[in-house]
């Protein structure tokens, strides 16, 4: 029996943690009630579980439970934040600021709003993928209603200075939204000290179930006005209609709680493994590290291999290793990554890139195996292609 591939695509998704699954299971059959059913035990049990989950998630980011809106994932949360703020605040202004390395779940809603007459400013990043705070400050206008900048990039793992960004927005009475899908449970997040008004979260990047997410929406200082994008039963205080999926919500809360509790130790472990992987590959020469060398997620390593075709390199590593050349949402396309191009990489170099996503299951032995496989594959391809 052949061994399964070594999984190094943890930015695309993660396996559900056994502890998370155990927490979820009772709510599929034993406690299967609708949280909105307030007249019997089954509904009360489900409602109690959702209430506790809401508290757990809120505590992880320094929020109040009433500020958590459950969604189907970070994509819906981003859409609700961006389009919801735009619709509810267009009388104040129709200008939005974001950066060019955002996930498509932010860029596409912005593009949609632009088609409706909103003006969107797409700020550049530097060679390391970081925003220039002076350029951000200069872009803010009297009619700017929202700044949306992700906490951690899904391709290059770069951590933006969200506390400083939040302070800039707070000083100008502009809402600040951050997509924290890749950040929750991996870096400290606090909506008060970081001046965050809206934050998108998902479960499946932190060993929780797919299809579960949440949006934090500040209720005071300032109170953020958003317009609902889904209408129906009026759930989530009218901000997001739809029957709450109790098993998913319970699983998301458990996943986040575990991630926060184990964050310090896991960050140190993954940083060490990532360093070992890079140190083994870099001597090949022609290897470029994409993104800031230290201001990045501990489990992220994005490398470009000069003179190679990334897809050929990927195929040469299969089926030993499961990884990707970029965002899982766009990996099926032949275009080079917009994130890597934004760093100044040529199309050829962007297409010669691999994203190594280390995670909870990654071992030192696996890193040694993968490093040896990459070195061997690169050497062989360079000989054959020249």
> b or e along 326-349 (b: 16 or more beta carbons within 10 Å of the residue's beta carbon)?
bbeebeeeeebbbbbbbbebeeeb
Catalytic residue among 100, 110, 169, 329: 329
Q: Is 110 an annotated catalytic residue?
A: no
User: Which pair of structure tokens corresponds to residue 196?
Assistant: 């965050």
Between CA 168 and CA 232 the distance in angstroms is 37
Q: Which residues contact 14 (CB under 8 A, 6 or more apart)?
A: 204, 205, 206, 207, 208, 359, 360
* Residues assigned a catalytic role: 329
């Amino acid at each position: 029996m052949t061994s399964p591939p070594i999984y190094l695509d943890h930015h695309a998704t993660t396996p559900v943690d056994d502890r998370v699954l155990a927490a979820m299971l009772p709510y599929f059959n034993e406690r299967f009630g609708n949280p909105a059913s307030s007249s019997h035990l089954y509904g009360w049990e489900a409602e109690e579980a959702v209430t506790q989950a809401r508290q757990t998630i809120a505590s992880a980011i320094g929020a109040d439970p009433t500020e958590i809106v459950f969604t189907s994932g970070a994509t819906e949360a981003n859409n609700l934040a961006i389009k919801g703020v735009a619709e509810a605040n267009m009388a104040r202004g129709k200008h939005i600021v974001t950066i060019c390395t955002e996930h498509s779940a932010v860029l596409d809603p912005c593009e949609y709003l632009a088609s409706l007459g909103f003006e969107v400013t797409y700020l550049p990043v530097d060679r390391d993928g970081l925003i220039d705070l002076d350029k951000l400050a200069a872009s803010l206008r009297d009619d700017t209603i929202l700044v949306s900048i992700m906490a951690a990039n899904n391709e290059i793992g770069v951590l933006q200075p969200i506390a400083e960004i939040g302070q800039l927005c707070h000083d100008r009475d502009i809402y600040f939204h951050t997509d924290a899908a890749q950040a929750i449970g991996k870096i400290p997040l606090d909506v008060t000290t970081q001046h965050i008004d809206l934050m998108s979260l998902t479960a499946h990047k932190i060993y929780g179930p797919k299809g579960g997410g949440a949006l934090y929406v500040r209720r005071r200082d300032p109170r953020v006005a958003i317009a609902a994008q889904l209408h129906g039963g009026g759930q989530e205080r009218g901000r997001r209609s739809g029957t709450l999926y109790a098993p998913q919500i319970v699983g998301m809360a458990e996943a986040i709680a575990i991630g926060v509790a184990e964050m310090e130790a896991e960050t140190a472990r993954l940083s060490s493994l990532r360093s070992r992987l890079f140190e083994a590959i870099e001597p090949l020469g022609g290897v470029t590290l994409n993104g800031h060398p230290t201001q990045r997620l501990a489990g992220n390593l994005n490398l470009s291999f000069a003179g190679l075709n990334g897809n050929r390199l990927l195929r040469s590593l299969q089926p030993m290793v499961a990884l990707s050349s970029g965002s899982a949402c766009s990996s099926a396309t032949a275009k080079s990554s917009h994130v890597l191009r934004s760093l100044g990489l040529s199309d050829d170099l962007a297409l010669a890139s691999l994203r190594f996503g280390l995670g909870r299951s990654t071992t030192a032995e696996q890193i040694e195996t993968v490093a040896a496989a990459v070195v061997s594959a690169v050497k062989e391809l360079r000989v054959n292609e020249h």
